[in-house]
Amino acid sequence: MIAAIFLSTLLGAIVVGMPIAFALLLCASVLMWQMDMFDAQLIAQNAINGTDNFVLLAAPFFMLAGEFMNAGGLSRRIVNMALALFGHIRGGLGYVAVFAAILMASLSGSALADTTALGALLLPMMAAAGYNLNRSAGLIACGGIIAPIIPPSIPFVIFGVAANVSITRLFLAGIVPGILWGVAIILAWAWVTRRDKLEPSPRATRKEVVTALVEGVWALILPVIIIVGLKMGVFTPTEAAVVAAVYALFVGMVVYREIKPKDLFGLFLSAGKATASVMFLVGGAMAAAWLITVADLPGQLVQMLGPVMGDKRLFMLTIVLICLIIGTSMDMTPTILILAPVLMPLVKQAHIDPVYFGVIFVMVNAIGLITPPVGTSLTAVCGVGKLKIGSVSMAMMPFLLAEIGVVLLLVAFPDIVTVPARFFAR
């Protein structure tokens, strides 16, 4: 009964166009009314306490680092470096897009930021070179969702806070799955373009390659600093976010000199607006999560999922299917905030590694960013390329299926995640 009330209220609010944060607060209010314990102060208190978390400071600083990265020219130099290395291969701009997506994922942690930047930089080049523009946009959208998996990852920060899981371990566990996604997309791109008559770009001279690598090395240093720092225990994920923001600002202002002092206010304002949106979502979700716990919704789910609790793989496959369905109608952040506290008791009861579960859970919810009708990354790349969502969605299917295939592979063979995670965490 409680689950039905919660879902019907949430979906009804979304259908009428209510912002997700307000919809979550409405769900909390309805649940309190149903349990005959309505108190507006309790809702406000839990919403405020949900955002009053030191670890969550990582999110605004990683967002700020992404702003500095794009404004400071780091994104463009990563693309230039990829062009110099792979642009001469047939269909090379597709490989450039994926390679750049992996590198940019290690800088920003934001799928939307990476997708928008790559679309703006590469779609005009692909159009001029005669590429199928819908397919190219689909490739960029699928490449963009690597960002939530490879550290630093804002969704991992949010999941870690919501589920009380080590964010450092999540970061380190996401490296191999993120790279596997990139490899899967590359293989899918090679397969779908095998018969296309695409003229490769002229091969870059040795001098051009060296110049591109030298200019791009400053961008490549940042992920090394973050990963080594986390592995060696030099700093926490929150401190790593500050390091990333300061480093990106330094490179943008001092090395590349593309960020001027007059630009700083606008960059801080943009990051502040994005942070306010996320924190409001966190507050609303934490209030709803508290009511869900009081109503013992996890206990009801245990009864519903009882038949699959004994088989870890079947349980994980069930969670994957549920999240894929939910991802078509809800954005990634609220999905994580709502489902993570509900599912973690079940995960522990099924004796599944919480870090492994977190990686799979975030990967599946990242796929929701490119599935219509709500997929924000899909909408962003279509907006940049002035393309129809339906056409891009159809052309994107081989890359989307490749990413889903990797998730199913990780469900079938958990050691692909857990063994490298233990190695990196040593």
Both tokens assigned to 251:
């490179």
Q: What is the pLDDT of residue 403?
A: 94
Asked if the model's pLDDT at residue 142 lies above 90, the reply is yes
Residue 85: per-residue pLDDT: 81
**Residue given tokens 């490739």 in the structure block:** 139
Q: What is the mean pLDDT of residues 41-51?
A: 74
- pLDDT bin (cut points 50, 70, 90) of residue 366 is very high
Do 165 and 354 touch, CB atoms closer than 8 A?
yes
**CB neighbours of 247 closer than 8 A, spacing ≥ 6?**
65, 221, 222, 225
pTM: 0.83
Are the C-beta atoms of residues 364 and 406 closer than 8 Å to each other? no
Residue 360 clears pLDDT 90, i.e. is over it = yes
Radius of gyration of the chain, Cα coordinates, nearest whole angstrom: 21
Q: Are 138 and 196 in contact (CB under 8 A)?
A: no
- Type of residue at 176: V
Residues sharing a CB contact under 8 Å with residue 378, sequence separation 6 or more, in sequence order = 141, 369, 370, 371, 372, 389, 392, 393, 396
Extract the tokens encoding 349.
């009861």
Query: For residue range 72-127, what is the model confidence (pLDDT) as tens digits?
Result: 888 788 888 887 887 777 778 888 889 888 888 877 777 877 888 888 888 888 88
pLDDT tens digit sequence for 317-326: 988 988 888 7
pLDDT band at 217 (very low <50, low <70, confident <90, very high): confident
Better pLDDT: 384 or 410: 410
pLDDT band per the 50, 70, 90 thresholds, residue 398: very high
Q: What share of the chain is helix, strand, coil (3-state, %, to 5)?
A: 80, 0, 20
Rounded to 5 degrees, what angle do the CA atoms 260, 208, 114 make? 50
Residue with tokens 């791109």: 189
Q: Is the pLDDT of residue 385 over 90?
A: no
Q: Are 370 and 112 in contact (CB under 8 A)?
A: no
Q: Which two tokens stand for residue 97?
A: 């897009």
Instruction: Provide mean pLDDT across the span 391-413.
Output: 93
Mention every residue, 6+ apart, whose C-beta is less than 8 A from residue 402. 142, 184, 185, 187, 188
The confidence score (pLDDT) of residue 88 equals: 76
Cα angle for residues 280, 281, 283 (degrees, 5° grid): 65
Contact (Cβ atoms closer than 8 angstroms) between residue 76 and residue 94: no
> Which pLDDT tens digit goes with each residue over 218-268?
888 888 888 778 777 777 778 888 888 898 899 889 888 888 989 999 989
- DSSP class per residue in 207-253: HHHHHHHHHHHHHHHHHHHHHHHHHHTSS-HHHHHHHHHHHHHHIII
CA-wise closest residue to 102 among 65, 143, 63, 133 = 143
